[in-house]
Structure 1
Amino acid sequence: MTTIDSPASLRSAGLEGERHRVIGDARVLAGLDQGRLDLQRHLLTHGPQPELTRDDYVQLCEAVGLRGRGGAAFPVALKLQDLPARGVEAVVVNGSESEPVSRKDRLLLTRSPHLVLDGAVGLAHALRAPHVLIAVHDPAAATSLREALMERDDQLAIEVRDTPGRFVAGEARAVLSVLEGGTAVPPGRRVLPTRRGYHRRPTFLSNVETFAQLAVLARLGSRGFSSTGLTSEPGTQLLTIDGAVQRPGVIETPTGVPLDTVLQYAGAEPGPVLLGGYHGRWLPQTDGVLLQRPEVSAGIILALGSGTCPLGEVTRVAEWLRSQSAGQCGPCVFGLASLVDDFARLTIGDSQGWYDAQRHLGLIPGRGACAHPDGAARFLTSALEVFDDDVRRHLSGQGCGRPVLGVLPVPGGTR
């Protein structure tokens, strides 16, 4: 791993209420210290986008082991190789960033839209795909994209489509459903977009940061791209950090940066950390943890601190996850509702709530129509494991003695 800059040398900048920082050298966030990059400033910062072939993209992605920057962290080269030689219908940019904590994709779309467009348009030309579709649920991001498109002449059909902001609406198959005029829920049948995507034809779909990283990779080449980060997965990554921290926001770091370095720089309070958002997992300690994919999942770090009730915080999030159900299978409709009740009873000292939670958590994984029940179960299972001491205090009837401060943000909730 390359040497990480000391905290004294780290740089930060505020962007109209959305703070971003950089550990090491800025790449996807380059130039944002002066605000939004219009086309002229984008080209001055990054240079022109090279014209690459499909084989060029495959070779570059293989050389650096580039993974998608959404929750699945699927190797980009494998996704490209799974597409047919002809007949690719569209390149889809999934900007429906519905995880309530994540802000990295919105930051790119609102402040560096041309970098994302370069990645998507360059790949579309290489794949000979006639359409680029950008699914966005944030109004400011959609406006920024449409303004950027007015500055460009890509000679390609590019559309910005508005999507709902619900949690499951950001799942790839839910995005495709919305783009085709359907509802924003993932269908029960799990088919890869590379085989059956937009209009049931082969489609390359990935999230916003993936396309920004592709644009950087195309410019730097594999050697330049690999000059920072892990040898096994070089480059940089965007992380959103929130919770019990003094400096929340989006941070660009080399891959493999120690979690403690990021927590120290963000001014995090000591305590448990949630890695990967509300489909992620809790960590009881952070010593020796390196931030890399797929472990870092959607690039979200939440510090809980020590002043709030962990079980109360988790129950609040469980209730929100239940409200975000697609409503199309038993694990979502009944399983998540049962778990909310289980955790609420556990929190007030009902031992049967603990037993019921264990039973229900064992029944949910692998049975849902989409990944939402599995992700919620993973979040809650790791909470019971990491907060075991707190569980015992609550079951003793004494409680943990701490109020529920709302450190974990949920839409419509208080902080």
Structure 2
Amino acid sequence: MITLDDVRVIGEARVLAGLDQGRLDFQRHLLTHGQQPALTRDEYVRLCEAVGLRGRGGAAFPVALKLQDLPKRGVEAVVVNGSESEPASRKDRLLLSRAPHLVLDGAVGLARALRAPHVLIAVHDRDAATSLREALMERDDRLAIEVRETPGRFVAGEARAVLRVLEGGAAVPPGRRVLPTRKGYHQRPTFLSNVETFAQLAVLARLGSREYSRTGVSTEPGTQLLTIGGAVQHPGVLETPNGVPLDTVLQYVGAEAGPVLLGGYHGRWLRQTDGLTLQRPEVSAGIILALGTDTCPLGEVTRVAEWLRGQSAGQCGPCVFGLGALVDDFARITVGDPGGWYDAQRHLGLVPGRGACAHPDGTARFLTSALEVFEDDVRRHLNHEGCGRPVLGVLGGLR
């Protein structure tokens, strides 16, 4: 179980600076980070271009391109997506609960530069929402800032689902895939990104591109937040330089030997981690889960797949029927039914690219890589030998 107290840093603390002493109120925030400079829209674009800043959600879209896609006038809102609904992820909740002013600085500074009249913060975690509201009472931003609580379902964190909730609709992604920069909040141009992106913007605005680039790698300067879990001695949220070797991170947190899930429940499994460096979009949502060797891999995968099926929006065939069929396929493989393996191969070829949102694609990616990495375990189960290991729930507390 990862808690918000498990905070560690490799190298220099930037986004997590000062959090070893607990939550930063406004005064301690200013003592730690200094005043937020007032920047223009063009200055934000140049800074983001100079360091190649990418969004810190799953898509890793270049922030400068997103800013440039907005019109010069008429930006309706800046939206902070804090709907971190995957049980394996904690980094955004950590920032909202312990460093809310850094996130607010990033969002307010950008809203002023874009001349957007609204800042909307979508949060599904009650403690994080309370922390934000307390932080707003300490500030005088003279801007319309609202904290909106959202459902904690997996697909409710998708950008278009967040916008629908903010407008009073259902927390599911619409079938049409329109960029928020074109038609976002109330169908008006909107800048939307996740919590860590805004914290990184606040750090970048203060440091400037040269100082910001003193850590990380030339292709992606700066730092990143990672949620580390599974079979490790020190689970929690870790700030590291971009481009750090995965093996360095695993050694630092005391990970057990065995396969690693990179990117969370929509990520992919790795059998070998040698030589892999952690950069976007490779690291995706910033989640690393070590499986260890004491649990049944197929049982763990099937358990997560069943949870993902239950998190479906229920609005298209690939989710309603495809994910249900895949859960059944993997359950059959686990009990030694060869037909489950053949059906899984067929269904994994039918699901991707056909859904109303990215949920079926991400689930299929997770399951496809599992069949590849756990090939030996699959063979043992199909030969009715089994792996002899229980399902320990290493990949997270799913309900």
TM-score category of the 2 structures, normalised to the smaller one: over 0.9
* Secondary structure at 1:50 match in 2: coil
Residue 27 to residue 139, structure 1, CA distance change in 2 (3 Å): same
Task: Report the counterpart of residue 86 of structure 1 in structure 2.
Answer: 73
TM-superposed deviation, 1:403: 1.2
CA RMSD across the alignment = 0.9
Q: Which amino acid aligns with 1:33?
A: D
Task: Report the counterpart of residue 55 of structure 1 in structure 2.
Answer: 42
Task: Report the counterpart of residue 116 of structure 1 in structure 2.
Answer: 103
Which of the numbers 324, 335, 351 marks the counterpart of 1:364? 351
Contact conserved, 1:168 with 1:372, CA < 8 A, in 2?
A: yes
Say whether 1:185 aligns with 2:184: no
Say whether 1:389 aligns with 2:376: yes
Residue-by-residue CA offset, 1:61-84 (whole Å, 9 max, x unaligned): 000000000000000000000000
Task: Report the counterpart of residue 283 of structure 1 in structure 2.
Answer: 270
TM-superposed deviation, 1:187: 0.3
TM-score relative to the length of structure 2: 0.99
Task: Report the counterpart of residue 67 of structure 1 in structure 2.
Answer: 54
Q: Which amino acid aligns with 1:70?
A: G
Task: Report the counterpart of residue 200 of structure 1 in structure 2.
Answer: 187
TM-superposed deviation, 1:265: 1.0
Q: Counterparts of 1:17 and 1:83 in 2: how far apart (Å)? A: 35
Q: Counterparts of 1:378 and 1:260 in 2: how far apart (Å)? A: 23
Contact conserved, 1:66 with 1:76, CA < 8 A, in 2?
A: yes
Task: Report the counterpart of residue 8 of structure 1 in structure 2.
Answer: none
Residue 32 to residue 311, structure 1, CA distance change in 2 (3 Å): same
Unaligned runs of 5+ residues in structure 1 are 1-14
Which of the numbers 298, 322, 325 marks the counterpart of 2:285? 298
Contact conserved, 2:301 with 2:370, CA < 8 A, in 1?
A: yes
Unaligned runs of 5+ residues in structure 2 are none
Residue-by-residue CA offset, 1:60-111 (whole Å, 9 max, x unaligned): 0000000000000000000000000000000000000011111000000000
TM-superposed deviation, 1:17: 5.2
Matches within 5 A, 1:316-395: 316-395=303-382
Task: Report the counterpart of residue 245 of structure 2 in structure 1.
Answer: 258
Which of the numbers 234, 237, 246 marks the counterpart of 1:247? 234
Q: Counterparts of 1:304 and 1:33 in 2: how far apart (Å)? A: 28
Matches within 5 A, 1:157-176: 157-176=144-163
Say whether 1:129 aligns with 2:116: yes
Task: Report the counterpart of residue 9 of structure 1 in structure 2.
Answer: none
Contact conserved, 1:180 with 1:199, CA < 8 A, in 2?
A: yes
- Report how many residues are paired: 398
TM-superposed deviation, 1:16: 7.8
Q: Counterparts of 1:18 and 1:160 in 2: how far apart (Å)? A: 24
TM-superposed deviation, 1:405: 1.1
TM-superposed deviation, 1:401: 1.4
Say whether 1:37 aligns with 2:24: yes
* Secondary structure at 1:375 match in 2: helix
Q: Counterparts of 2:390 and 2:106 in 1: how far apart (Å)? A: 46
Residue-by-residue CA offset, 1:303-357 (whole Å, 9 max, x unaligned): 0000111001000000000000000000000000000000000100100000000
Q: Which amino acid aligns with 2:82?
A: G
* Secondary structure at 1:93 match in 2: strand
Contact conserved, 2:3 with 2:236, CA < 8 A, in 1?
A: no
Q: Counterparts of 1:220 and 1:120 in 2: how far apart (Å)? A: 17
TM-superposed deviation, 1:402: 1.2
Q: Which amino acid aligns with 2:79?
A: V
Q: Counterparts of 1:138 and 1:125 in 2: how far apart (Å)? A: 27
TM-superposed deviation, 1:299: 0.2
Contact conserved, 2:120 with 2:148, CA < 8 A, in 1?
A: yes
* Secondary structure at 2:221 match in 1: coil
Matches within 5 A, 1:12-23: 18-23=5-10
TM-superposed deviation, 1:411: 2.4
TM-superposed deviation, 1:400: 1.1
TM-superposed deviation, 1:410: 3.8
TM-superposed deviation, 1:408: 1.0
Contact conserved, 2:309 with 2:323, CA < 8 A, in 1?
A: yes
* Secondary structure at 1:18 match in 2: coil
Matches within 5 A, 1:149-160: 149-160=136-147
Same amino acid, percent of matched pairs:
85
Q: Runs ≥4 in structure 1, deviation > 4 angstroms?
A: none
Task: Report the counterpart of residue 12 of structure 1 in structure 2.
Answer: none
Contact conserved, 1:317 with 1:410, CA < 8 A, in 2?
A: no
Residue 75 to residue 131, structure 1, CA distance change in 2 (3 Å): same
